[in-house]
Structure formats: C-alpha cells, structure tokens
Amino acid sequence: LGGDDHEWATGPARVMRISFLFLILISTTTYTANLAAFFLMPDFTFHGPKTMADLNHARVCFGSRQWGGLAEPFAQEVTYPPDEFAMGKSIEQLQEYCKDQVVSGSVDA
C-alpha cells in the first residue's frame, strides 16, 4: 500500500502504464462477467433426438414444405402444419406450431 517503487517520469512510460492498467481492468471485468453468467445460466430441457441414429427413427415437424425436403434423408417421417392452418401465418407462428407438437409428443423433433 506504499505505492509504486518506480517513477513513471516520461510521457510514453505513463501511457504504457495507463494502457497496462486498462488491460488489467478489462481482463478482470471480463472474467467476473463470465463467471456470473456461468452461475446464472438457466436450466433448459432438450426435446428431440439426441443422436443422428435417433433422428433416423424420428418424426420431424417442419413449418414450411419448401425446406422440409432437406430433412427427408435424415428422418423417418416429415410432417407439416395443416394447410388450412399454415395459410397466411408467419414463420414464427409455424415454428411455434412445430414446437408445440414436439412438447406434446406428437413429433420427435
């Protein structure tokens, strides 16, 4: 607590010291923020197949028929929202439909 033993007399030395102290400040606050984020991480439940082998035997819901064909080689069955439901809906509403189907157990992913 007695202070520095080194005198920072020149301008470049003072700039270097301030820069070094700023680096220490940034490093300390980054570590503290990451530690707090780690301890405050919410728990979540993962619904759906855990491996590719499980996906091969799974029923998959896609909100759009346009992209559903991409999943056909990897899933046993691909389902879509009913056409009367899908007309005029946003992609978020179609994703919500598929999420509800996963949570209810109607589809696996």
Q: Give the pair of three-digit tokens for residue 68.
A: 């559903």
CA 94 → CA 2, 7, 40, distances in Å? Answer: 66, 67, 31
Instruction: Give just the sign of the alpha carbon dihedral 14, 18, 23, 24.
Output: positive
- Reported as a pLDDT band with limits 50, 70 and 90, residue 22 is very high
In 1-109, beta strands by DSSP E: 59-61, 77-79
> Number of C-alpha atoms within 13 angstroms, CB side, residue 54?
8
79 touches 102 (CB < 8 A): no
The lowest-confidence range among 27-36, 65-74, 95-104 is 65-74
- Reported as a pLDDT band with limits 50, 70 and 90, residue 3 is low
Q: What is the pLDDT of residues 44-89, one digit of tens each?
A: 777 778 888 888 888 888 887 777 788 888 888 888 888 888 888 8
- Cβ-based neighbours of 80, under 8 Å, separated by 6 or more: 61, 62, 63, 64, 65, 68, 86
